[in-house]
Amino acid sequence: MTNQTLMNRLITLFISTATLILILFNGGCSEDFLAKPAGGDVTVDTIFGTKNQAQYAVSQMYNTCIYSYFPYGAGELRPDALTDELYFLYGVQDNWSGGPNIQLHTYVSGNMSTEKPCDWAYRQDGSSGSTPAFGIHYKGIRQANLVIENIRKVVDADATWKNDVIAQALFCRAMQHFELFRYYGGIPIVNHTLGGSDVNRPRNSVQSVVDSIVSWCDKAAAVLPDIRPTAEYGKATKLSAMALKARILLYAASPLYNPQTDVLAGTDARFGDGRDSVLRYPTYSKDRWKLAADAAKAVIDAAPAGGIALYTSNPKVSTGETSATIGNYEYVWNTYGNSEIILSQNQGVAPTNSWGDGNIWILYTMSKVGLFSWGIKNNVPIEFMQLYEKNDGTKWTFQSTGSDLPVYVQSLNLDPRFYQTISYDGMQWTASRGKLDYYLKSADGTVAEGRLCSSDAGPNGYAFETYKYVPRIDGATQNHFTWPVFRLAEFYLSYAEALNEFNGGPTTDAFFYMNELRKRVGMPDKTTTDCPDQATFRNTIQNERTIELAYENHRYNDLLRWVKADQALNQTLHGVQTQALKVSGVVTRPWKTVTFIQRVFPKKYYYVPFMNAEIAKNYLGGGKGWKGQNPGW
């Protein structure tokens, strides 16, 4: 079966759902978020009458619970735009890059509101954002609970199939509770469908939410298979549930939720009283790092049985534009179904080139370089680029000016992951497109502005973009991308981080698993000379995680859980601008650094606000004189 044939089957599996199913499972939000819709009993019995009909409910469960973070709709942006990974030029003419799915304009200026928080779930709503993001998460949870409670009604399926579906639903329910947790902290735990007076669910503590997610993951992992047949690629496996458990435990052990010394005490990110239980554990425990380490190692140890392994079969560096000639790192994010992907979300991976396909926006909002036409430039700030080491493992600083950008960038000899992630003016792209030209027109007018120079707001000459998940290889086809919900590299990094924190310094295993990722791209090992103590290893593993998982929707929550967002996102970000210069018939690309934006990150941003409409219902705080809103809002 070809990748394209398999992709088409999966798109059908995870997107196509009957109108009846959409009506049944389109429940309300918040206090009504899981209330039973009118006529629910008849509809539920109909849907769960046969295995074939029940498959629709399972399909819709995956659609509403397992997210892809590709931007599909008009004006949507990568979630990484919230961080220092990206800068989007916006203004009067360039309103496409306002990022309605993450409320970018207000977020980066420090003006996020309780009416429009940055919760990505807005883009999951098929009714153009008419349902608040908080409620959209609970639509997914309701869907999973309905499946759990009704799947045994199916008359033509055996117990093994039903138990498998229930385990998948437990995983999906856990996933949506995790999605809520990573934004809001403690949230209402909903483990069954709600109705009538049962809908008044207050927020639960961080400890209760984490314990519930871990319990559901354990129950799911005990039933789910190690491997699924090819036609079921994208459905949860045992390793998927183990991976979610490892991720939530890493978050739970981190300083935002488990501070040894709470640097946020006395700020807008804390109440300073018992309500802090929805924000953090009441006391620090080093053992939470041990739980995180053990869970990550369990994922690593179970990977072979699930057919999962770190991908190392390609060259360390990219030398061409085919699957066989790109580097290991570029291959991993370019290749559907590769050995490193534990779970992927396959929605919208192969949009048509037609405006009738709403997913076509992925082609225009992921980059300008992807189509060499109108598109949103995904500009990379200098401050983020400087996190990549040179290929000898040393740090560097970007020169403020120079005579020819591509010569300079190539001479830096950076970590190969830089060149397999970030495009730049003068980079050789493909045989058909040639070298990229982001430059402004020459001062004397003899060289016109480059094909990639402008945004809707006019020419800017910004010279660096990320091209991760942008079609370049094998004829610039789009059908080899899927969103990596979990990939094995994450757990190498999580294990190393947790070992360092639990043991008071790096262990042999901590170095080994970090260095395995560096070796496959040709980077030198880190040793005790580089990282002699806990603090230096902590900085190193956090940087390694940032580079390895760049543009995969990890940076936002990593900065939060490390309590470093108010440093990284409270600074002026800069870019690089080039302008063509022709000398003796040869075009060069002189550059200068320019200011992108002054980012603002108030400490209250560590927890996203609940919308005023939810707070006004007075259920989140449990009716105890507090309406349940996060601090500072």
Q: Which residue has the higher pLDDT, 299 or 133?
A: 299
E strand or H helix that includes residue 250: helix 238-253
The length of the chain in residues reads: 633
Give the strand pairing for 341-345 and 483-487. Answer: antiparallel
Distance of CA 340 to the CA centre of its chain: 17
Reported confidence tier of residue 375, pLDDT bands at 50, 70, 90: confident
Cβ pair 529, 399 in contact under 8 A: no
* Tokens matching residue 41: 């009993």
Reported confidence tier of residue 76, pLDDT bands at 50, 70, 90: confident
Task: Give CA–CA dist 345/330, Å, rounded.
Answer: 19
- For residue 588, list its beta bridge partners: 581
Reported confidence tier of residue 99, pLDDT bands at 50, 70, 90: low
Phi, psi (degrees; rounded to nearest 5) at 254: -80, 160
Task: Give CA–CA dist 30/138, Å, rounded.
Answer: 7
Which of 581, 315, 577, 316 has its CA nearest to residue 424? 577
* Tokens matching residue 418: 């830089």
Structure letter (DSSP) for residue 153: G
Task: Give CA–CA dist 215/199, Å, rounded.
Answer: 23
pLDDT of residue 441: 98
Over the stretch 284-325, which tens digit does the pLDDT of each residue have? 999 999 999 999 999 999 999 999 999 999 999 999 999 999
**Averaged pLDDT, 21-40:** 42
Reported confidence tier of residue 353, pLDDT bands at 50, 70, 90: low
Give the Å distances, CA to CA, from 262 to 287, 288, 349, 425, 562. Answer: 17, 16, 42, 44, 11
Phi, psi (degrees; rounded to nearest 5) at 588: -115, 175
Which of 292, 290, 205 has its CA nearest to residue 252? 292
Residue with tokens 């629910």: 40
Rounded (5°) CA angle 154-177-77: 110
pLDDT of residue 26: 47
Over the stretch 176-192, which tens digit does the pLDDT of each residue have? 999 999 999 999 999 99
**Averaged pLDDT, 118-125:** 71
E strand or H helix that includes residue 577: strand 572-578
Q: Which residues contact 162 (CB under 8 A, 6 or more apart)?
A: 151, 152, 154
Residue 101 has pLDDT above 90, yes or no: no
Residue 595, SS3 per DSSP:
strand
Residue 370 has pLDDT above 90, yes or no: no
* Tokens matching residue 315: 């060259």
Residue 484 has pLDDT above 80, yes or no: yes
Average pLDDT, the chain: 89
Q: Which of 98-102, 262-266, 350-354, 525-529 has the lowest mean pLDDT?
A: 350-354
Cβ pair 258, 185 in contact under 8 A: no
CA-CA-CA-CA torsion sign (267, 271, 277, 282): positive
Residue with tokens 């890059």: 97
Residue with tokens 């970000």: 573
CATH, range 3-73+127-297: 1.25.40.390
Q: Which of 193-202, 244-253, 394-403 has the lowest mean pLDDT?
A: 193-202
Residue 37 has pLDDT above 50, yes or no: no
Q: Which residues contact 622 (CB under 8 A, 6 or more apart)?
A: 202, 203, 628
Structure letter (DSSP) for residue 521: T
Reported confidence tier of residue 74, pLDDT bands at 50, 70, 90: low
Task: Give CA–CA dist 224/240, Å, rounded.
Answer: 9
Task: Give CA–CA dist 166/172, Å, rounded.
Answer: 10
Residue 597, SS3 per DSSP:
strand
* Tokens matching residue 433: 């497109």
CA-CA-CA-CA torsion sign (203, 207, 213, 219): negative
Task: Give CA–CA dist 608/525, Å, rounded.
Answer: 38
Give the strand pairing for 591-598 and 572-578. Answer: antiparallel
Residue 145, SS3 per DSSP:
helix
Task: Give CA–CA dist 103/121, Å, rounded.
Answer: 12
E strand or H helix that includes residue 543: helix 534-548
Task: Give CA–CA dist 171/224, Å, rounded.
Answer: 10
Structure letter (DSSP) for residue 584: T
Give the strand pairing for 422-424 and 464-466. Answer: antiparallel
Helix axes 133-150, 159-184, angle to 10 degrees: 160
Task: Give CA–CA dist 2/17, Å, rounded.
Answer: 24
Task: Give CA–CA dist 537/318, Å, rounded.
Answer: 29
Q: How far is it between the farthest Cα atoms of the chain?
A: 80
Reported confidence tier of residue 270, pLDDT bands at 50, 70, 90: very high
Q: Which residues contact 411 (CB under 8 A, 6 or more apart)?
A: none
* Tokens matching residue 562: 């490390």
Residue 507, SS3 per DSSP:
coil
Distance of CA 575 to the CA centre of its chain: 23
What amino acid is encoded at 361 in this protein?
W
Cβ pair 377, 88 in contact under 8 A: yes
E strand or H helix that includes residue 140: helix 133-150
Residue 68, SS3 per DSSP:
coil
**Segments of the chain assigned to CATH 1.25.40.390:** 3-73+127-297
* Tokens matching residue 215: 């319990």
Residue with tokens 């260095």: 515
pLDDT of residue 89: 81
Cβ pair 385, 543 in contact under 8 A: no
Distance of CA 183 to the CA centre of its chain: 13
pLDDT of residue 124: 52
Over the stretch 493-526, which tens digit does the pLDDT of each residue have? 999 999 999 999 999 999 999 999 999 999 999 9
pLDDT of residue 173: 98
